[in-house]
Chain A
Amino acid sequence: MKICIPAKGETPNAQIDSTFGRCQYLLFTDTENSTTYQHENTYREDNSGVGTQVAQAVLAEGAEAVLSREIGPKAQEVLKAGNISAYRVDDMDIRDAVEKFKNNELDPLY
């Protein structure tokens, strides 16, 4: 299963970014084989509608879940329309967040 995490850096050692729409990187990882890749968030400096664009980028990558500290209401609407689930995480690094996700230790964000 492919999941997406807003990240402060380019690797799973990085911290989770505190925001979804204006995160530095979108990190995608496959929970079965741990294949990981990332996209720089090119929308983060836009004035408006950032969250919806990032949510759409998540859709376009075919991710099925997002792990994030927060997700804005408009971005949530896009993710829900794309049948993507979301789980709440605290300030932690990405590796730990993915482990918690695999162990079903995270609460749904919506």
Chain B
Amino acid sequence: MIIAVASGKGGTGKTTVATSLALSLPDVQFLDCDVEAPNSHIFLEPEFTDETDAVINVPEIDESLCDGCGICQDICEFNALTVIPGMNGQQSNVLRFDSLCHGCGACTVLCPQQAIHEVPRTIGTIRFGHSTNLAGETIDVIEGTLNAGETLSPPVIRDLKSQTDLGKTVIIDAPPGTSCPVVASIRDADYCILVTEPTPFGLHDLTLTVTLTRELEIPVGVIINRSDVGDAAIEEFCYKNDIPVLLKIPFRKEIARAYANGIPLVRQFPEYRSHFNALFEPLEMMEG
């Protein structure tokens, strides 16, 4: 089954939860989909053995076939192509803005002159490796990284997720927010764990994320991190919306200190291992 760990707000503890699950459960494949800032490797310390390019297919235009009709420009939703009409008998010219291209392929399909073909453009890297869980078993770790300066992470996330091994318990560490990268990360998940904190910011962004997961029809449960600071609004929200609170992690200086040293929660505090195992059991039964 596929379990995604997400949260609207950044810094709530997604990676803490995702890596703790990965270290506690057997037979895990871990996908770090936070490709703009993948940091699960700090806690899982995988040994990476292989890597591939993450690519997006962008149009290349054969100017000798192009008659400057402008259809490619008109159909491009993201204005990645600009046709400069030929002046004074000169050939028209198509300017390509790769950073705007989402790689949908519409221009290639719809060019009446068949002057467009697609070429891969590297926008990131996918790394493959292995780590070891608390029981000494192997965790498959795959991590995506979006190259600096690139703006489109969903293609990297899709490339990364194409490696999903459904024979394993797949843990997805999603990026923060509620926009396209998150949709790309959590889509197809069987269950989504939403990590939040009991602050007005935590509640606001949790509300947005629940709206998103409802739209995607993914069942959710909530983990409240730093649960003994702030107010009770998160629990009230969960109660009203029939969302189970799976776990509460109190604020402890020792937890923060372990995190700051890159030590996974379940390694420093072995009692959490049973907490994470316990919250996984009903999910597994739901799948069964």
Which 6 pairs between the two chains have the least Cβ-Cβ distance?
A49-B79, A81-B84, A52-B82, A49-B100, A48-B78, A78-B82
Residues of A within 8 A of B76 (CB): 49
For this complex, into which size category does the number of interface residues on chain B fall? 10 to 19
Pairwise interchain contact B84-A82, C-beta atoms closer than 8 A = yes
Of B78, B80, B95, B100, which one neighbours A81 at CB under 8 angstroms?
Answer: B95
Say if the beta carbon of B93 comes within 8 Å of chain A. Answer: yes
| Min CB gap A107→B, angstroms | 25
Pairwise interchain contact A48-B100, C-beta atoms closer than 8 A = yes
Say if the beta carbon of B97 comes within 8 Å of chain A. Answer: yes
Residues of A within 8 A of B85 (CB): 59
Of B79, B82, B84, B93, which one neighbours A48 at CB under 8 angstroms?
Answer: B79
Give per-residue flags for A60-97: 1 if the beta carbon is below 8 A from chain B beta carbons, else 0.
00000000000000100110011100000000000000
Pick 12 A–B contacts, CB within 8 A, sort by A: A49-B79, A49-B100, A52-B95, A53-B79, A56-B82, A74-B100, A77-B97, A78-B84, A81-B82, A82-B84, A82-B87, A83-B87
Residues of B within 8 A of A83 (CB): 87
Say if the beta carbon of A32 comes within 8 Å of chain B. Answer: no
Binding site for B on A (CB under 8 A): 46-50, 52-53, 55-56, 59, 74, 77-78, 81-83
| Min CB gap B177→A, angstroms | 16
Determine the distance from Cα of A77 to Cα of B79 in the docked complex, in whole angstroms: 14
Residues of B within 8 A of A55 (CB): 82
Residues of B within 8 A of A59 (CB): 84-85
Binding site for A on B (CB under 8 A): 76, 78-80, 82, 84-85, 87, 93, 95, 97, 100
Residues of B within 8 A of A81 (CB): 82, 84, 93, 95
| Min CB gap A2→B, angstroms | 15
Residues of A within 8 A of B100 (CB): 48-49, 74
Pairwise interchain contact B84-A46, C-beta atoms closer than 8 A = no
Smallest Cβ-Cβ distance to A74: which chain B residue: B97
| Min CB gap B104→A, angstroms | 13
Determine the distance from Cα of A101 to Cα of B186 in the docked complex, in whole angstroms: 55
Of A46, A49, A50, which one neighbours B80 at CB under 8 angstroms?
Answer: A49
Smallest Cβ-Cβ distance to B96: which chain A residue: A77
Smallest Cβ-Cβ distance to A75: which chain B residue: B82
Choose among B76, B78, B84, B93 the residue with the greatest number of A CB atoms under 10 Å from its CB. Answer: B84
| Min CB gap B73→A, angstroms | 8
| Min CB gap A104→B, angstroms | 25
Smallest Cβ-Cβ distance to A81: which chain B residue: B84
Determine the distance from Cα of A106 to Cα of B93 in the docked complex, in whole angstroms: 30
Pairwise interchain contact B84-A49, C-beta atoms closer than 8 A = no
Residues of A within 8 A of B79 (CB): 46, 48-50, 52-53
| Min CB gap B93→A, angstroms | 6
Smallest Cβ-Cβ distance to B76: which chain A residue: A49
Determine the distance from Cα of A67 to Cα of B195 in the docked complex, in whole angstroms: 50
Given contacts A49-B79, A49-B97, A52-B79, 14 further A-B contacts (CB under 8 A): A46-B79, A52-B82, A52-B95, A53-B79, A53-B82, A56-B82, A74-B97, A77-B97, A78-B84, A78-B95, A81-B93, A81-B95, A82-B84, A82-B87
